[in-house]
């Protein structure tokens, strides 16, 4: 028995060992299948703003951080010698932020269905638990700070809790700054990166854009401490601080990737609400045309005649309506304020009508309407309605007709990003991007053209296994519910773009991720 058993048992056991471990001809977990090339991913540190932090749905929450592009990249880097990637995770998925127990930032958006069955963004209910006074200690790999502008990364005290209420400090950086006086770049360099990515500068134009251009273009002003939150950063300031940041990051010998600034016009925050957003029937359009008839045919030519406005401006200021979709009426601060003149002879308009006409025009296809305006258009301007009824003595019926936002009540500047405001943004952006490109070349770093990548998503979309990624709000898949920040799938797409640039620059072979495995917007009816 024993003799025979050996004949059977030994080969059987040997075969068993073989059988339990099927082997690929080319196993991708073998060493050397994916390589880092001339780069070293063992300690990857990401520096940037909300995009780097994984901010989405107008909040920072854990799953968003887990789907940040640096974290996605780090998981792929692991296949090519990458090490652990630690992030300063917030406490929960509600997204709200507390300061000493008081909520200072709201909860995240989720896609909720309202009573009429319409899906739309709404704030997730629940009590946030992330209090910025609970400071995380230790070194991290993700130094993405939501809200940071280029110069903030170099600002001492940007993580000082005492400065949060005054706007001198950033609540997100307070959570994990190494000290009250630390700088973001200082902490990132102290983390001793072997490889880094830097994506900063978006907020240097984005605040201006999302505020409808209500900030100031600070081009020419070299002192960023005097800037307001919605201002455009001077391109020379940007170039100076960006160069210092790159210099600090390469000082450790690290290689890295610099990411440029996409167009604000490629984000759904500006592409969702059409400028031709006012539906009218034939009768209403006729009534309105009658109301504006004298303005178009007498007042505007008259003003040209008096030399108050040019013929070009008069043409721009024509207001006409038609059956179907109509352009929105707006107050454009770049137009001549005619409110005083038209109150005088020969027009002799009342102050209310004069106020309506002061800087009035209709939008064109080139104007951008920020997403929040969708909640304003066609609604009644209650304040103006009350004024008409209670102060001016207008009948409620008449007041209602004169108080329709975007029609009889022009949208205020904050609800429109006009072409001239877009030009300011585009000019600054072009100069920032020239700086980023030049510094990438000068420091021999990978350059990521995020502008082109996001343009591809916005213009027709990018195909993936399972559909097409577009920047259409909610349905397109690329953007989260704030219309500005990517969804997990959008961040995965971003990670792939950066990985591609790194592979090309450093002869690395880090694989892309399958973006179809990442989610888009999160549905929930747990809302307030």
Partner 1 sequence: MKKVLSAFVLLLVGTMVYAGGYRVSLQGQRGLAMGHTGVAMINNAELAFFNPGGLIHLENKLNIAAGGFGVFSDVKFQNPEYGQSVQTDSPTGTPLYLYASYKLNERVAVGLAVYTPYGSTVEYPTDWAGSHLVNSIELSAIFIQPLASFKLLDDLSIGGGPILAIGGVNFNRNLSRSTVDIDGNRSNVEIDAQGVNAFGFSVGAMITPSDMWSFGLNYRSKIDVKVEAGDGDAVFTNVPNSPLSPIQNGTYDFTATLPLPAEWTVGASFKPTEKWTLNFDYNYAEWEAYDSLDLDFLNSDGSVALESRNARNYKNASTFRLGAQYEVSSKFALRAGTYFDESPVRDGYFAPETPRNDSFGFTGGLTFNVTDKLAIDASFLYLRFKEVDASYDYYEENGVITPFEGTYKSSAFSPGIGVSYKL
- Return the DSSP state at 9: H
By beta-carbon proximity to partner 1, the closer residue of 172 and 464 is 464
By beta-carbon proximity to partner 1, the closer residue of 57 and 245 is 57
Quote the CA–CA distance of 148 and 447 in Å, as a whole number: 21
By beta-carbon proximity to partner 1, the closer residue of 155 and 513 is 513
Minimum distance from CB of 73 to partner 1 (Å)?
12
Quote the CA–CA distance of 165 and 188 in Å, as a whole number: 25
By beta-carbon proximity to partner 1, the closer residue of 442 and 523 is 523
Residue 428's SS3 state is: helix
Q: How would you label 76-101 residue by residue, b for 16+ Cβ within 10 Å and e otherwise?
A: bbbbbbbeebebbbbbbbbbbbbbee
Residue 310's SS3 state is: coil
Minimum distance from CB of 344 to partner 1 (Å)?
58
Minimum distance from CB of 105 to partner 1 (Å)?
18
Minimum distance from CB of 10 to partner 1 (Å)?
11
Residue 104's SS3 state is: strand
By beta-carbon proximity to partner 1, the closer residue of 90 and 205 is 90
Quote the CA–CA distance of 60 and 50 in Å, as a whole number: 8
Minimum distance from CB of 394 to partner 1 (Å)?
43
180 CB neighbour count, 10 Å cutoff: 16
By beta-carbon proximity to partner 1, the closer residue of 406 and 477 is 477
Binding site for partner 1 (CB under 8 A): 1, 4-5, 8, 11-12, 15-16, 18-29, 33-34, 62-63, 66, 76, 79, 93, 110-113, 117, 119, 124, 465-467, 488-489, 510-514, 516-520, 522-526
Minimum distance from CB of 37 to partner 1 (Å)?
16
Quote the CA–CA distance of 238 and 434 in Å, as a whole number: 11
> Is there a cis peptide before residue 346, judged by omega within 30 degrees of 0?
yes
Region for 154 from its dihedrals, namely left if φ exceeds 0, alpha if ψ lies in -120 to 50, beta otherwise: alpha
Minimum distance from CB of 467 to partner 1 (Å)?
5
By beta-carbon proximity to partner 1, the closer residue of 124 and 200 is 124
What is the DSSP track for 147-209? T--GGGGG-TTTT-GGGTTTTSS-HHHHTT-SSTT--HHHHHHHT--SEEEEE--THHHHHHH
By beta-carbon proximity to partner 1, the closer residue of 181 and 514 is 514
442 CB neighbour count, 10 Å cutoff: 10
By beta-carbon proximity to partner 1, the closer residue of 46 and 469 is 469
Q: Which tokens is 228 given?
A: 């307001």
Residue in this structure with the two tokens 């070349």, named with its chain if needed: 441
Residue 131's SS3 state is: strand
Minimum distance from CB of 390 to partner 1 (Å)?
42
Minimum distance from CB of 108 to partner 1 (Å)?
9
By beta-carbon proximity to partner 1, the closer residue of 110 and 309 is 110
Minimum distance from CB of 102 to partner 1 (Å)?
24
By beta-carbon proximity to partner 1, the closer residue of 82 and 159 is 82
By beta-carbon proximity to partner 1, the closer residue of 76 and 451 is 76
What is the DSSP track for 372-414? GGGGTTTSB-HHHHHIIIIIS---HHHHHHHTBBTTTBPBPGG
Minimum distance from CB of 221 to partner 1 (Å)?
43
Minimum distance from CB of 490 to partner 1 (Å)?
12
Residue 243's SS3 state is: helix
Strand boundaries in 186-306, DSSP class E = 195-199, 255-259, 278-280
Residues in the chain: 528
Which contiguous run of DSSP H or E holds residue 427? Answer: helix 419-442
- ∠ CA 440-445-446, rounded to 5°: 95
């Amino acid at each position: 028995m024993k003799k025979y058993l050996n004949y059977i048992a030994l080969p059987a056991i040997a075969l068993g060992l073989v059988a339990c471990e099927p082997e690929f001809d080319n196993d991708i977990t073998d060493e050397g299948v994916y390589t880092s090339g001339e780069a070293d991913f063992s300690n990857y540190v990401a520096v940037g703003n909300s995009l780097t932090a994984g901010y989405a749905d107008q909040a920072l929450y854990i799953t968003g951080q887990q789907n940040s592009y640096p974290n996605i990249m780090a998981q792929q880097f692991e296949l090519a010698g990458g090490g652990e990637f630690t992030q300063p995770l917030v406490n929960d998925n509600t997204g709200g932020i507390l300061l000493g127990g008081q909520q200072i930032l709201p909860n995240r958006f989720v896609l909720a269905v309202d009573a009429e069955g319409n899906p739309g963004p709404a704030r997730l209910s629940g009590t946030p638990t992330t209090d910025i006074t609970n400071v995380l200690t230790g070194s991290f790999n993700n130094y993405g700070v939501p809200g940071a502008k280029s110069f903030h990364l170099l600002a001492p005290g940007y993580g000082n809790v005492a400065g949060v209420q005054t706007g001198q400090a950033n609540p997100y950086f307070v959570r994990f700054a190494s000290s009250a006086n630390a700088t973001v770049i200082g902490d990132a360099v102290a983390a001793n990166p072997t490889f880094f990515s830097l994506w900063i500068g978006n907020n240097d134009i984005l605040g201006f854009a999302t505020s409808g251009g209500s900030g100031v273009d600070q081009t020419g002003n070299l002192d960023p401490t005097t800037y307001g939150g919605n201002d455009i950063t001077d391109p020379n300031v940007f170039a100076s601080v960006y160069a210092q940041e790159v210099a600090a990051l390469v000082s450790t010998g690290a290689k890295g990737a610099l990411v440029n600034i996409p167009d604000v016009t490629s984000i759904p925050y500006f592409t969702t609400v059409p400028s031709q957003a006012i539906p009218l029937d034939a009768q209403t359009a006729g009534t309105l045309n009658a109301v504006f008839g004298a303005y178009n045919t007498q007042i505007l030519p008259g003003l040209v005649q008096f030399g108050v406005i040019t013929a070009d401006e008069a043409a721009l200021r024509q207001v006409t309506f038609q059956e179907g979709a109509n352009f929105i009426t707006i107050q454009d601060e770049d137009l001549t304020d005619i409110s005083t003149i038209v109150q005088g002879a020969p027009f002799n308009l009342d102050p209310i009508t004069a106020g309506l006409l002061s800087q009035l025009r209709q939008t064109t296809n080139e104007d951008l309407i920020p997403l929040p305006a969708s909640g304003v258009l066609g609604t009644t301007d209650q304040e103006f309605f009350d004024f008409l009824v209670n102060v001016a003595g207008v009948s409620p019926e008449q007041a209602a007709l004169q108080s329709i936002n975007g029609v009889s009540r022009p949208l205020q500047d904050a609800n429109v990003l006009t072409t001239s405001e877009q030009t300011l943004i585009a000019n600054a952006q072009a100069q920032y991007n020239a700086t980023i490109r030049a510094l990438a070349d000068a420091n021999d770093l990978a350059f990521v053209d995020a502008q082109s990548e996001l343009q591809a998503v916005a213009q027709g979309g990018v195909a993936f296994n399972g559909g097409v990624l577009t920047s259409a709000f909610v349905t397109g898949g690329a953007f989260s519910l704030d219309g500005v920040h990517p969804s997990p799938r959008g961040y995965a797409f971003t990670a792939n773009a950066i990985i591609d640039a790194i592979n090309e620059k450093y002869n690395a072979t880090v694989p892309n991720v399958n973006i179809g495995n990442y989610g888009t917007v999160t549905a929930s009816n747990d809302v307030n």
